[in-house]
Structures are given as structure tokens and as C-alpha cells.
Amino acid sequence: MATYETILVETDSRGTKGVTLLTINRPQALNALNSKVLEELIHAFAAYQADATQLCAILTGSGDKAFAAGADIKEMSDKAAADFFLDDFFSPWTAEIVKKTRKPWIAAVNGFALGGGCELAMMADFIIASDKARFGQPEIKLGVAPGMGGSQRLTRAIGKSKSMEMCLTGRMMNAEEAERSNLVARVVPHEELIAETLKTAATIAGMPPMAVIANKEMVNSAFEMTLDQGLIVERRIFQILTASEDKAEGMAAFIEKREGQWKGR
Ligand code: CAA
């Protein structure tokens, strides 16, 4: 297994078969996302994607205070506009992590998820938040604006009015408001965040693998396509799944009143 400086990786985390736990591990900087974190997360997500024994991942932050307090301001402060432009700064987050990870991953938000931290959480397939989680896009206070998807993914998640208010004022949203606004799937007591997220991830990891990937692809299509196009994608994927061995097994298991034994084909 690779060793990393800024993240921790645990496969079959805490005995949970099929679940990989990734932890951003810069608690002294509130898990701010510098280029090393990006490089290592790209590597770790690729390893998760390639490991056929793992079917769900969780991303969280170390320490008690932050999931991630944003892109690393100290690293960005000396860069010139040309550097950001020529490097297409921030583009690998979506291109290398979101687009290339076909298997699901859950953000377990354990504290501040601000700026790039909020944006990273929103890249996950869904968010489970601790009751101490705080979400925000405070970039405006730094004289900039979201750069890792905040203005787009936040607006799609919670609607224009709330997203606009958050981006223009930089105010934070607590976990209760985030759940009410559909930003997060569920809020759990802080101390139970990882245990609860592991349970949800274990449920996913126990499902037929092709169906897991197919379901993720379908729901994501809803963000990219018109309703007519999305419905076609959904039907075609459904039809392809009916040719799988796991479809035959799943339906037989239902009729025979037993648990399915998945082959992943
Ligand atoms: N980048 C670099 N370092 C950061 C950081 C960040 N985004 N956020 C926190 N830190 C560091 C602090 O500098 C501090 O380090 P030192 O001890 O060396 O001074 C350490 O983490 C602890 O932070 P604080 O002392 O500030 O802790 P606090 O409890 O008083 O405040 C906070 C917590 C409200 C989250 C505050 O740290 C804060 O406002 N952080 C910045 C949040 C932010 O603006 N995020 C957006 C970044 S820009 C971005 O993300 C662009 C994009 O769209 C991708």
C-alpha cells in the first residue's frame, strides 16, 4: 500500500469489508487543501477505483474541527493570475477525482467544510454530516470567488436564493440548515459520524457491484442531461443490467426468500 504525507487510507476500514476510509490529515491547518493533498487524493481515489475488493469509499477530515477549511490560502497567496490560468488551477479535482471515480464515495463532514472544503464535500455522491458540521463559501472575503464548483454544485443542491446569499455574504450554514436545504443526506451525532457512515457504506458495499455503479451513473445523468435524454440513459442502463448474472441471482434470491450472493458480473 502506498504511503502518503497528507492523507490516511484504510481499506476494509475498521473491519468493514469493501469500504475504504480516506482521511485528509492536516489538522494543524484545518485540513486545508494544498497541492500535495490533491496529488495524494488523486492517487488514493485511483487506487480505490482499481481495487475490486472495495465498493464504497468515505472521505473525512482528521481532528475534531474540520473536514477541510478550504483551498490552502497560504499556498495561493503568492501565485499570479497567470499561474492559476495556465495551470487551469482546480481543474484536476473534477477531472481526476469526480470523473474517474465510477464507484461511490461519501463525504463524512466532521466540522468546517468551507470554500474548497464545501466544494470537495459536494463532489461526493452524498454527504453525511456531523451535528457540528458548518458549510460555507467564504471566498468573497478573500477577494475571490468559488473555484472548485461552489457556485455551480451549491446552486444545484440548494437553489439560487440560498446559494447566492451564501456566496455573497460568506455566511456559514449549520448542519440542521444543510439537511433542511438538501445539501446533506443525513445529520448524525458528532461522535457517531464515522460509525454511522461506515454502516451506510457497508450497505452499499453489500450490493451487486454493477448495479452500484449503474445507479451512480444514472443519478449523475440527471445533472448533465435533459429529462428525455436522462430517461433514455436510465432505460438503457437498466436493460444492460438485466443481462448480468447478478440480476438472475437477485431475482432468484427474492423468489426463494434468501440473500443474494453477488458475482459482480
Ligand atoms: N488555508 C490555509 N491555512 C488555513 C486555512 C486555509 N484555508 N484555514 C485555516 N488555516 C490554518 C490557519 O491559518 C491556522 O494556522 P496557524 O495556526 O499556522 O495560524 C490554523 O489553520 C487554524 O486556523 P484558525 O486559527 O483560523 O482557527 P479558528 O478556529 O480561529 O477559525 C476558521 C476557523 C473559521 C475555519 C478559519 O480558519 C477560516 O476562516 N479559515 C479560512 C476559510 C476560508 O476562507 N476558506 C476558503 C479558502 S479559498 C478557497 O477554498 C477557494 C476555492 O474555491 C477552492
Average pLDDT over residues 10-31: 98
For ligand 1, mutation pick of 30, 35, 79 (most atoms within 8 Å of CB): 30
pLDDT tens for residues 213-251?
999 999 999 999 999 999 999 999 999 999 999 999 999
State how far the Cα of 115 lies from the Cα of 244, in Å rounded to an integer.
42
Residue 2 pLDDT more than 90? no
Give the pLDDT score at 193: 98
First to last CA, the chain: 27
What residue ranges of the chain are covered by domains with CATH 3.90.226.10? 7-205
Tell me how far the alpha carbon of residue 155 lies from the centroid of ligand 1, in angstroms: 23
* Gap from CA of 69 to ligand 1 centroid (Å): 5
148 Cβ inside 6 Å of ligand 1: yes
Q: CB of 115 closer than 6 A to ligand 1?
A: yes
- pLDDT, one tens digit per residue, over 138-188 is 999 999 999 999 999 999 999 999 999 999 999 999 999 999 999 999 999
Catalytic site includes residue 116: yes
Average pLDDT score over residue span 12-25? 98
Q: What is the mean pLDDT of the chain?
A: 97
Residues of the chain with CATH 1.10.12: 209-255
71 lines ligand 1 (CB under 6 A): yes
Please state which CATH number belongs to domain 7-205. 3.90.226.10
> What residue owns the CA closest to ligand 1's atom 4?
29
User: Is residue 1's pLDDT more than 80?
Assistant: no
Q: What is the pLDDT of residue 251?
A: 98
Share of the chain above pLDDT 70, in %: 100
pLDDT band for position 128 (50/70/90)?
Answer: very high
pTM: 0.98
Give me the pLDDT at residue 212, please: 98
Ligand 1 pocket test: which of 33, 35, 73 has the largest number of ligand atoms within 8 Å of its C-beta?
Answer: 73
Q: What is the ipTM of this complex?
A: 0.99
Selected from 1.25.40, 1.10.12, 2.40.50, 3.30.70, the CATH number assigned to the domain covering 209-255 reads: 1.10.12
Over residues 42-67, mean pLDDT: 98
Select which of 70, 136, 139, 150 is catalytic: 139
